[in-house]
Chains A and B, each alone.
Chain A
Amino acid sequence: SQKIEQNSEALNIQEGKTATLTCNYTNYSPAYLQWYRQDPGRGPVFLLLIRENEKEKRKERLKVTFDTTLKQSLFHITASQPADSATYLCAPSSSSASKIIFGSGTRLSIRP
């Protein structure tokens, strides 16, 4: 069955450094992959979508890569700030998917 793995351990990063989060998937080939941010007690908020024919996508301080050979996506936040502290969820989806499935998320903490 389809499986999505994200760092289960919280990630603690010094302010100003680059935070890198990993999303690995197995047993399927996503046509696109989304990243969301979720703050405690709030709904997830969409950040970026990358398709299988795109190796990299950027938005301001965010960068996402998609390696279909490694079955992995990396999510980078450069010049991290305490306000970036949140849980980040990935959602790889196949073109035939009839539902969007999310990874369990990685909690990121940026310390001043």
Chain B
Amino acid sequence: KAGVTQTPRYLIKTRGQQVTLSCSPISGHRSVSWYQQTPGQGLQFLFEYFSETQRNKGNFPGRFSGRQFSNSRSEMNVSTLELGDSALYLCASSPHPTGPNTGELFFGEGSRLTVL
């Protein structure tokens, strides 16, 4: 069974540009969560999608957005990039939405974004 796939793995952008990251969950998983990881802040929750609906959003500015398609693949977009957006962006999939029956999250290898 294929794992969670994130593309691209590495990318470099300049300030003011925008970026789109993609996440393909494990087959059959309908929940996709996105996290930002930086050395200073650790893993910070961005948002979760389940069945094409955003269920929850973390404390990030509106420049960070996402969506989920009918095949459960998800994308996140960051507009007007800032230097502080440099981070490892991780997505995780799960069969169920976050709640009392949540089990483990399956993470991808991440997309390493560098903003110059």
A-side residues, CB < 8 A to B, are 31-32, 34, 36, 41-46, 49, 89, 93, 95-105
Interface size on B, residues (CB 8 A): 26
- Expressed in whole angstroms, the Cα–Cα distance for A95 and B101 within the complex equals 8
Which residues from chain B contact A95 at a C-beta distance below 8 Å? 99-100
Is there a chain A Cβ closer than 8 Å to B105's Cβ? yes
Is there a chain A Cβ closer than 8 Å to B112's Cβ? yes
User: Which single residue of chain B is at the shortest CB-CB distance from A101?
Assistant: B45
Interface contacts (Cβ under 8 Å), in number, total: 64
CB proximity to A under 8 Å, residues B87-116: 88, 90, 92, 98-100, 102-110, 112
CB <8 Å contact, A93 and B102: yes
Of the candidates A32, A96, A100, the one whose C-beta lies within 8 Å of that of B45 is A100
- Expressed in whole angstroms, the Cα–Cα distance for A42 and B108 within the complex equals 8
Of the candidates B42, B98, B100, B107, the one whose C-beta lies within 8 Å of that of A43 is B107
CB <8 Å contact, B33 and A44: no
Q: Which one of B45, B99, B104, B106 has the highest number of Cβ atoms from chain A below 10 Å of its Cβ?
A: B104
CB <8 Å contact, B105 and A100: yes
CB <8 Å contact, B98 and A99: yes
User: Which single residue of chain A is at the shortest CB-CB distance from B91?
Assistant: A43
CB proximity to A under 8 Å, residues B35-94: 35, 42-43, 45, 48, 55-56, 58, 88, 90, 92
- Give me the 7 closest cross-chain CB pairs, A-B, nearest first: A43-B107, A46-B104, A104-B42, A95-B100, A102-B43, A98-B56, A99-B45
CB <8 Å contact, B107 and A45: yes
- Expressed in whole angstroms, the Cα–Cα distance for A101 and B42 within the complex equals 10
CB <8 Å contact, B55 and A98: yes
CB <8 Å contact, A31 and B100: yes
- Expressed in whole angstroms, the Cα–Cα distance for A70 and B104 within the complex equals 24
- Smallest CB–CB gap between B50 and chain A, Å? 10
Which residues from chain B contact A93 at a C-beta distance below 8 Å? 98, 102
User: Which single residue of chain B is at the shortest CB-CB distance from A4?
Assistant: B42
CB <8 Å contact, A97 and B45: no
- Expressed in whole angstroms, the Cα–Cα distance for A96 and B55 within the complex equals 13
CB <8 Å contact, A98 and B107: no
Which residues from chain A contact B103 at a C-beta distance below 8 Å? 49
